[in-house]
Amino acid sequence: MAINSKLIPDLIIVDYSGAIYSTLLQLRNALNLNKRVLLLMFTITKEVYFCYGHRLMNHSGKCRNLHGHSVKAAISIQQKQLNDQGMVCDFADIRDCVEAYIDDQLDHNFLLHKDDPIIPMLTANNERFMALDEHPTAEVLSKMIYQHLKRAGFDVAEVTLWETASAHACYREN
């Protein structure tokens, strides 16, 4: 473990070593120190692309109308140490896990809030849709993808969903 607070006075850099990171956070909080504790990690990012339709009920702008997006999801996986092949993990493992979920649940699907009044019409016409407990925003979709990967055993740092070329939402839990 290396601790270096000389270069940046308000920063403690910790090269991961077991419970030491947690202990440093507790010590910092107990002593009311204004130092940030930075845990050094390896991170890789895999991008995947898919399309979906949605609308945001009660939205004051154009998003209240039925519309669709062709999106990019950037999935970042982190590890404290590299595996025996010198990798965080194989990019193909991320791709296989996330693309199976996206193909089954999100890609070319119509995402709606569970109270959307259009649902009975879609059901009557055997149209594909997914009713969500939350409004189908980019924020919610990034959280859904994050949670799927986490349940599959990946150490997910964050998921960023690019709804347009200039607008994205991120979800992370730390």
Burial class (CB in 10 A: 0-12, 13-18, 19+), 13: middle
Burial class (CB in 10 A: 0-12, 13-18, 19+), 129: middle
Q: Beta partners for 46?
A: 75
pLDDT band at 41 (very low <50, low <70, confident <90, very high): confident
The domain limits of the chain are 3-40, 42-171
The structure's pTM equals: 0.79
| Residue pair 171/157 in contact by the 8 Å Cβ criterion | no
Q: Which CATH number fits domain 42-171: 3.40.50.2300, 3.40.50.2020, 3.30.479.10, 3.40.50.300?
A: 3.30.479.10
pLDDT at position 17: 46
**Strands 3-4, 11-15: parallel, antiparallel or unpaired by DSSP?**
antiparallel
pLDDT over 60 at 2, yes or no: no
Taking residues 164-168, report their average pLDDT. Answer: 95
pLDDT band at 8 (very low <50, low <70, confident <90, very high): very low
Question: Residues with Cβ < 8 Å from 104, sequence gap 6 or more?
Answer: none
Express each pLDDT in 145-156 by its tens digit: 999 999 999 999
In the block, residue with structure tokens 């949605």: 54
Helical pair 138-151 and 91-105, crossing angle rounded to 10 deg: 120
Taking residues 107-113, report their average pLDDT. Answer: 98
Mean pLDDT of the chain: 87
pLDDT over 50 at 62, yes or no: yes
Ordered alpha helix ranges (H), the chain? 20-30, 91-105, 119-124, 138-151
Taking residues 95-121, report their average pLDDT. Answer: 97
